[in-house]
Amino acid sequence: MTGFVSFVGSGPGDPDLLTVKALDRIKRADAILYDDLSAGPILDHARPGADLVGVGKRAGRASPKQDHVSRLLVDYAKAGGRIVRLKSGDGGTFGRLEEELVALKAAAIAYEVIPGVASGVAAAAAAGIPLTRRLTGRRVQFITGHDVRGTLPEDMNLSALADRDAITVVYMGQRTFPALVALLTAHGLPADTPALLAEGVSTPAETLTRTTVSALAERLAQGVSDAPAVILYGPLADL
């Protein structure tokens, strides 16, 4: 009998941010295929005897290929039981969810998707600021800072990204942020636009740096840390 797959968003790392449904699926799983950033205390909730398989990806590090992860997920599901695919943050937000859904559909395997707290949302909460503002931050946009080659995407809508009234959340963008800021300022974004670098959100290693886009670009041009991070810029509240 074919198993059932639960795609579980684990949030940014703090087990207390798991939803009730996510926690239930983790506790009852026969096998958990987890991202790097979903490891640690979250896996402490797995039942004894459950298979725990690391399939995570980290920017700048050797990682399993996506087709390998998808095949492994299908193989576990075909063996039967309750399978959890544990994804950091929210699986549907730059979490390569679509490729794995396609693989399960092709294999006629049933699944469900349980959302998690996206790291961009958690970063704003950790900083104690709203992600939208009534008059000056009416739009939020989530973007990736690199493409499949690890470089800045070439087809970005720079006019939208330079919109002074939008709050932009950049995933996987530390290495390419200096290049992005050069393009944005050329398209009219002020160099003193507020920016927030959030590293290790909701973990003991959490670090929040409030600065400007130009100052942050200069800092990141000197080097980046290995900590998972998101960058927010735009009309961020100064409470």
Question: CB-based contacts of 23: which residues, under 8 Å, 6+ apart?
Answer: 45
pLDDT, average across residues 62-74 = 85
Selecting among 14, 90, 163, 172, the annotated active-site residue is 172
The predicted model gives 91-114 an average pLDDT of 95
Query: Pick the catalytic residue: 35, 87, 90, 163?
Result: 35
Check if 4-114 and 119-233 are the same fold.
no
Element containing residue 185 per DSSP (H, E): helix 177-186
- Mark whether 35 is an active-site residue: yes
Beta bridge partners of 29: none
Q: The pTM is what?
A: 0.92
Among candidate residues 91, 132, 139, 141, the one with its CA nearest the CA of residue 111: 91
Percent of the chain beyond pLDDT 90? Answer: 82
Active site residue 57: yes
- Scan for tokens 């398209």, then name that residue: 187
> How would CATH label the architecture of 4-114?
3-Layer(aba) Sandwich (3.40)
Distance CA 150, CA 175 (A): 9
pLDDT at 39: 79
Residue 111 CA: distances (Å) to CA of 115, 146, 193: 13, 29, 42
Q: What is the pLDDT of residue 57?
A: 63
How much is the pLDDT for 123?
Answer: 97
φ/ψ (deg, to 5) at 48: -60, 135
In CATH, the architecture of 119-233 is: 2-Layer Sandwich (3.30)
**How many of the other CB atoms lie within 10 Å of CB of 47?**
11
Which of 14, 30, 57, 90 is labelled catalytic?
A: 57
Q: Where in the chain are the domains? A: 4-114, 119-233
75 is catalytic: no
Bridge partners (DSSP) of residue 77 are none
What pLDDT shows up at residue 3?
95
Q: At what angle do helices 66-78 and 97-106 cross, to 10 degrees?
A: 40
Is the Cβ–Cβ distance between 87 and 97 less than 8 Å? yes
Query: Within 10 Å of residue 193's Cβ, how many Cβ atoms?
Result: 20
- Summarised one tens digit per residue, pLDDT across range 108-145 is 999 999 999 999 999 999 999 999 988 888 899 999 99
